[in-house]
Amino acid sequence: MTKKAKILATRQFPKNVLDRLYQDYDVTINPSLNPMSPEDVIEKSKGMDGIICDPTCLFDPELVAALDDSVKIITTFSVGYDHLNVDAIKGRGIALGNTPDVLTDATADITLLCMLGASRMAYSAGQALRRGDWKSWSPIEFLGTHMSGKKLAILGMGRIGEAVARRAKGFDMQIHYHNRRQVEARGLEDATYHSELGSLLAEAEFLSINCPLTPNTHHLINEAAINQLPDGAVLVNTARGPIVDDSAVINALKSGKLAAAGLDVFEGEPDFNKGYLDLKNVFLLPHIGSATHETRDQMGFKCLDNLDAFFSGQPVPNPI
């Protein structure tokens, strides 16, 4: 009988994923519901052949340098990989995998929820009901911004951006996007491509951020960018928190430059700028874009597919 490869799981993963992991591998798992500290990752990965991590586990150059030579593959339970220093990991000859495609629909669904939740004041209206402050139907209370038929500007037309665009077309929205290159996606032939960010922002009655976090996109949506939006725009971020400058967003929400914001991700999460909590025109979620049972199982299975292929000498099917 061949020896099972040793895998460190830095988090608790869904049951269906763990069942398959334990069946095929010799598993060391973080017993806690909290992320592992870098020291623990270094210590517990000694003698491991591979690691399954998630976006809370920061593989910076220091941690990567301290990893045991035994570690040959890291697969992250996420499509985003801004928490992984790819150069440092590859420099050590460690294979890398992620989980593209399977979370596209769930994340696009949450983006539409944020667009509607923010623009229709779902948070403050719902709170009023729960507090007992809903006294009567009123012609002038709980008014939001109309979404159907508006211009939706998508920053980053990858898989998730395209899925957001397709959904938004169901709301008769006119799709505009900025991307490194024009895309030829089916069903989006009438979308308007903007090669310059400024030209996209000028059209953005709704702005949806769907690009990865990179050094180029860090704080890309800052005060100057927000000033280029039409007055009363709605901002939605379901990608990564640090793409927006929170102070600039909060100021714009206070001044009315932004009518509302729907945010599923935050700089420094799970901590976040508490200035958002004083605002009624925000719809806030705790990074649940991919949080459905179905999607999280599929993400785990993609990680397992990456491990299975690697340990049977095949190319990693979802390489970074």
Residues serving a catalytic function are 240, 269, 287
Report the residue from 117, 241, 242, 289 that binds ligand DGY according to the rule CB under 6 A. 289
**Shortest separation between residue 21's beta carbon and ligand DGY, angstroms:** 18
**Shortest separation between residue 106's beta carbon and ligand DGY, angstroms:** 8
**Shortest separation between residue 1's beta carbon and ligand DGY, angstroms:** 35
Shorter beta-carbon distance to ligand DGY: residue 103 or 260:
103
37-56 binders of ligand DGY (CB under 6 A):
55
Q: Is 5 in the site for ligand DGY (CB under 6 A)?
A: no
Shorter beta-carbon distance to ligand DGY: residue 59 or 311:
59
Q: Round to whole Å and give the CA distance between 138 and 140.
A: 5
Report the residue from 75, 78, 85, 306 that binds ligand DGY according to the rule CB under 6 A. 78
- H runs (alpha helix) in the chain: 15-24, 38-44, 61-66, 86-91, 104-119, 122-131, 159-169, 197-203, 223-227, 246-255, 293-311
**Shortest separation between residue 78's beta carbon and ligand DGY, angstroms:** 3
Q: Interface with ligand DGY by CB under 6 A: which range of 59-67, 74-82, 89-97, 223-231? A: 74-82
Q: Interface with ligand DGY by CB under 6 A: which range of 64-72, 75-83, 162-170, 250-258? A: 75-83
Asked whether 261 and 283 are in contact (CB, 8 A), the reply is yes
Report the residue from 75, 85, 290, 306 that binds ligand DGY according to the rule CB under 6 A. 290
List the Cα angle 165/170/173 in 5-degree steps: 60
Asked whether 211 and 158 are in contact (CB, 8 A), the reply is yes
Which residues have a Cβ under 8 Å from the Cβ of 312 and sit 6 or more positions away? none
CA-nearest of 309, 182, 167, 155 to 243 is: 155
3-state secondary structure of 204: coil
Q: Give Dmax (Cα) for the chain.
A: 74
**C-alpha distances in Å from residue 258, one per residue of 33, 199, 289:** 37, 18, 23
Q: Is 210 in the site for ligand DGY (CB under 6 A)?
A: no
- Answer positive or negative: Cα dihedral of 112, 114, 115, 117: positive
**Shortest separation between residue 58's beta carbon and ligand DGY, angstroms:** 14
Report the residue from 67, 103, 191, 253 that binds ligand DGY according to the rule CB under 6 A. 103
**Shortest separation between residue 209's beta carbon and ligand DGY, angstroms:** 12
Q: Is 110 in the site for ligand DGY (CB under 6 A)?
A: no
Both tokens of residue 230?
């039409």
Q: Is 158 in the site for ligand DGY (CB under 6 A)?
A: no
Shorter beta-carbon distance to ligand DGY: residue 198 or 286:
286
Report the residue from 35, 50, 80, 241 that binds ligand DGY according to the rule CB under 6 A. 80
Shorter beta-carbon distance to ligand DGY: residue 281 or 295:
295
3-state secondary structure of 306: helix
CA-nearest of 211, 216, 148, 150 to 178 is: 211
Binding site for ligand DGY (CB under 6 A): 55, 78-80, 103, 289-290
